[in-house]
Chain A
Amino acid sequence: MTPLLEMRSVSKQFGGLSAVTDLDIHVDEGECLGLIGPNGAGKTTAFSILMGELEPSSGSVHFRGGDITGLPTHRRVQLGIARTYQIPRPFGDMSVLDNVRVGAMPDSVMRLLIPDRATESEWNFLQTVGFTAREASMLPGQLSMGELRKLELARNLATGPRIMLLDEVFAGLTVAEIGQLTELLLQRKRDGMTYMVVSHDLKSLRPLVDRVVAISFGSAIAQGSFDAVLENPQVREAYLGQD
C-alpha cells in the first residue's frame, strides 16, 4: 500500500551545516506516527520540508504516491496536509472565530469577495473543537497556551486535512489540557485522521502513537513500536549522552 505522506532520502543543508541527512519517513493512512529525538535532531526541519516551507537540498516528498516536491505550501494544504507550530502562530488582532475561519477560506479571489459573516456550520465546528461562544469572540492574546494550541488545531482542521503534522503539541500544557487534547486527537483518529507528532513529552505521546521513528543528528536511528524504540540502546544513548 502507498503511504499517505512520505519523504524519500531527503537531505537539507543550511550553509555548511547538515540539518537532515538522507532521511526516509513515511506515514500510512489512518496511522499516528511519533517523531522523537533530542533537541536539534531535525524534527522541525523535517516538518518544514514536508510542508514545503523549506526546499530540500536533495530527495523528494510524496503525497499518495504523487511527487509534491517543489509544490508551494498553500497547495499542499489544499491537498490535505496541515501543520501546527512549536510556538502557536495565531492572527493576533483577530477573534478566535475569525482565526479559524481563515483556515476555512477558499483560495480563490472571486469566492473571497462575498460578505464576511460566520455561518452556522462554522459556529458548530468551533464547538466541536471545544470553544464556547464566549471564547469564540476573544482575542488570541487573552488565551492560555492550551487554548492557543487548540486554536491552531482548529484552524488546521478547518482546512479539511487528511493528515496533520503536530509540532510539540503538548508543550506548555497542564495535565488536564493534555488529557483533553489527547481525547480530541484520538476521536479524530477514529474518524480516519492521520497524524505525525513531534513531542518531547514521551509520556503524553505514548497513548497516541502507533509507531515511532527516532531521529538523531538528522538521520533515523530506530523505528518500530513505542516501547521497542525506547528500549533501543542507540536511542537511549542519543537521549542520555554517553551511558
Chain B
Amino acid sequence: MIPYRQLAGWAVFGGVMCLLPLVLPPGILRMVIFANFLAIFALSWDFISGRTGYVSFGHPFLIAIGAYSTAILSFRFDWPLIISIPSAVLITVISGLFFFVPALRIRGTYFALVTLAFMELAYQLTQVLRPDITGGTRGISGITSIVSGAVPNFYLSFSILFVAALLLWFLARTRMGTALAAVRMDEGAVTASGLSTIRLKLFAFGVSALVAGIGGAFYVHYLGSIAPRAMFDINFLFQILVAALIGGSTTIAGPIIGAFFLTFLLEYLRPFIDGPERFLIFGSVALIVYVLKPNGIYSILESGYGLALARFRRFRPEGGPAK
C-alpha cells in the first residue's frame, strides 16, 4: 500500500531540480527561484480555496503579514533571523484567524469578497499607520538576506517548496484530506456525519496560513525589500490564483506546474512585449485554459499519460482509463 509510483515521482522531481544549477545560467535560475516561491504561495492558496472550497481573494494579505513581520522584526528591531522568521510564521498563522472568523458564517463568493476587502484594508492601513515602522508607501529596503547568490538561493527556495509540497501531499492523503474535500462538497452532510466543520476549517486555514507565512518570510529575505503596492496587489493575487488554477486545483503537482508555466511564459514574452502588458496574453491564456479545462494542465498531462499508457498496452485505444 505504499504509493511507490508517487514516491518515485517525488524523487525524480527532487533529483532533477537539484541538478538544475549545474546546467542553468544564473539569469534563468533566478526565474526558477521566483517560480519556487510562487509555487509555495499557490499551494497555500489551493489548500483552502481548492480543497475546502473557501476561495481566498486575500491571500497576498497572509503572505504580506509573514513578509512584513520578519522584515520589521529583523530590520527595525535587529532580531536575528532565526527568531524573526519563526515569529513571523506564528504571527501569520494567528492572522489566519482573521480569515477564519468570517468563514464561520459565510462561504462562496461572499467569503472571497471579505478576504479581498481584508487585502485592500491592509494595503491602505500599512501606508498610514506607523509609517516609521512599516516604511509607509515606500516600504522597507535593505532587509538582510539569508544566503547570497543565485545557486544558494535556489537551493534554499527549492527546499522550502519541497518540504511544503511534501507536507501538503501527505495531508491530502490522510483521512483529513478526505474530510476537507467533503467540506467542499456539502458542509451540512459533514456535520451530519458527526464531524465538526469548525475544527476542520480551522485546521485547513491554519495549515494554509502556515505555508503562506513561511513562503512570505523567506521571500522577503530573498528580495531584500518590501513595499505595500508590490504585496497587497491584485496582480500578485492574480499570479497566485492563476498558477493554481492553470496547473490544476486540488492537486499538489498542479500549482507547482502552474507556477513554473506562468513564470516561464511571462519570461519568454519579454522580448516581444516587456511591461505589464504581458499579463494580457497571460490572462487570456489563463482564461481559455480555465474555461475549457477547469482542472488545468495537470488533467491534460494526466489524460495524456493515460492515453499513452493505453496505446502502449493496446488497450482501449480511444481513451484513457476512467478518472
Q: Which residues of A contact B (CB under 8 A)?
A: 51, 53, 72-74, 77-78, 82-83, 85, 89-94, 98, 101-103, 105, 107, 109, 112-117, 155-156, 158-159
A240 to chain B, nearest CB (A): 34
CA distance A112 to B181 in the complex (A): 13
Per CB-CB distance, the 5 closest pairs between chain A and chain B, nearest first, are A77-B194, A112-B176, A91-B185, A89-B189, A103-B193
In-complex Cβ contact of A117 among B1, B190, B191, B199 (8 A): B1
- Mark interface residues in B150-180 (1 if CB within 8 Å of A CB, else 0): 0000000000000000000001011111110
Whether B179 pairs with A74 at a CB distance below 8 angstroms is no
Q: Which residues of A contact B176 (CB under 8 A)?
A: 109, 112-113
Inside 8 A of A53's CB, which chain B residues have their CB? 188, 191
Asked if A94 and B185 sit within 8 Å, CB to CB, the answer is: yes
CA distance A112 to B171 in the complex (A): 10
Other 11 A-B pairs with CB < 8 A, given A103-B193, A155-B189: A53-B188, A53-B191, A72-B191, A74-B194, A74-B196, A77-B193, A89-B192, A105-B175, A105-B179, A113-B175, A115-B174
Contacts of A82 in B (CB 8 A): 192
B236 is an interface residue with CB less than 8 A from chain A:
no
Q: Contact size class for B? A: 20 to 34
Q: Bound complex: CA of A111 vs CA of B186, how far in Å? A: 22
Quick one: given A83-B192, A89-B188, are A116 and B182 in contact (CB under 8 Å)? no
Q: Is A159 in contact with B194, judged by CB distance below 8 angstroms?
A: yes
The verdict on B290 contacting chain A, using a C-beta distance below 8 Å, is no
Query: What is the minimal beta-carbon distance from B108 to any residue of chain A, in angstroms?
Result: 16
* Cα–Cα, bound, A114→B175 (Å): 6
A102–B1 contact, CB under 8 A?
Answer: no
Q: With A107-B195, A155-B193 in contact, do A102 and B173 touch (Cβ < 8 Å)?
A: no
Q: Give the chain A neighbours of B186 by CB distance below 8 A.
A: 89-92
Roughly how many angstroms separate A22 CA and B190 CA in the complex, as a whole number? 30
- Per-residue CB contact flags for chain B residues 25-64 toward chain A (1 = under 8 Å, else 0) read 0000000000000000000000000000000000000000
Residues of B within 8 A of A73 (CB): 191-192
Binding site for A on B (CB under 8 A): 1, 171, 173-179, 181-182, 185-186, 188-197, 199, 203
When distances are taken between beta carbons in the complex, the residues of chain B under 8 Å from A107 are 194-196, 199
Residue from A101, A103, A105 having most chain B Cβ neighbours under 10 A: A105
Chain A residue numbers with a CB within 8 Å of B1 are 115, 117
Instruction: Chain A residues near B193: list those with CB within 8 A.
Output: 74, 77, 102-103, 105, 155, 158-159
Closest beta carbon of chain A to B172's beta carbon, Å: 9
A-B contact pairs, 27 of them (CB 8 A): A72-B196, A73-B191, A74-B191, A74-B196, A77-B192, A77-B193, A77-B194, A78-B194, A83-B192, A89-B188, A89-B189, A89-B192, A91-B181, A93-B181, A101-B175, A105-B178, A105-B193, A105-B194, A107-B199, A112-B174, A112-B175, A113-B176, A115-B173, A116-B173, A155-B193, A158-B193, A159-B194
**How many angstroms from the CA of A105 to the CA of B175 in the assembled complex?**
8
Considering residues A82, A93, A116, A117, which has the most beta carbons from chain B within 10 angstroms of its beta carbon? A116
| CB neighbours of A115 from chain B (8 A) | 1, 173-175
| Residue among A53, A73, A85, A89 facing the most chain B CB atoms (10 A cut-off) | A73
Q: Contact at A94–B181, with CB atoms within 8 Å?
A: yes
Contact A105 to B173, CB < 8 A, known contacts A90-B189, A94-B182: no
Q: Is there an interface contact between A51 and B192, defined as CB atoms closer than 8 Å?
A: yes
CB distance from B146 to the nearest CB of A (A): 30
B174 touches A105 (CB 8 A): no
The answer on a CB contact under 8 Å between B177 and A102 is: no
- Tell me the nearest residue of chain A to B193, going by C-beta: A103
User: What is the bound-complex CA distance between A107 and B186, given in angstroms?
Assistant: 17
Cβ–Cβ < 8 Å partners of A159 in chain B: 193-194
Residues of B within 8 A of A78 (CB): 194
For B195, give its contact among A85, A102, A117 (CB under 8 Å). Answer: A102
With beta carbons under 8 angstroms apart, the residue of B175, B188, B191, B192 that contacts A116 is B175
* Nearest B-chain residue to A52, judged by Cβ: B191
Question: Is the pair A116, B178 in contact by a Cβ cutoff of 8 Å?
Answer: yes
How far is B175's CA from A83's CA once the two chains are assembled, in angstroms? Answer: 23
Give complex CA distance A85, B192 in Å: 10
Residues of B within 8 A of A92 (CB): 185-186
Is A91 a contact partner of B189 (Cβ separation < 8 A)? Answer: yes
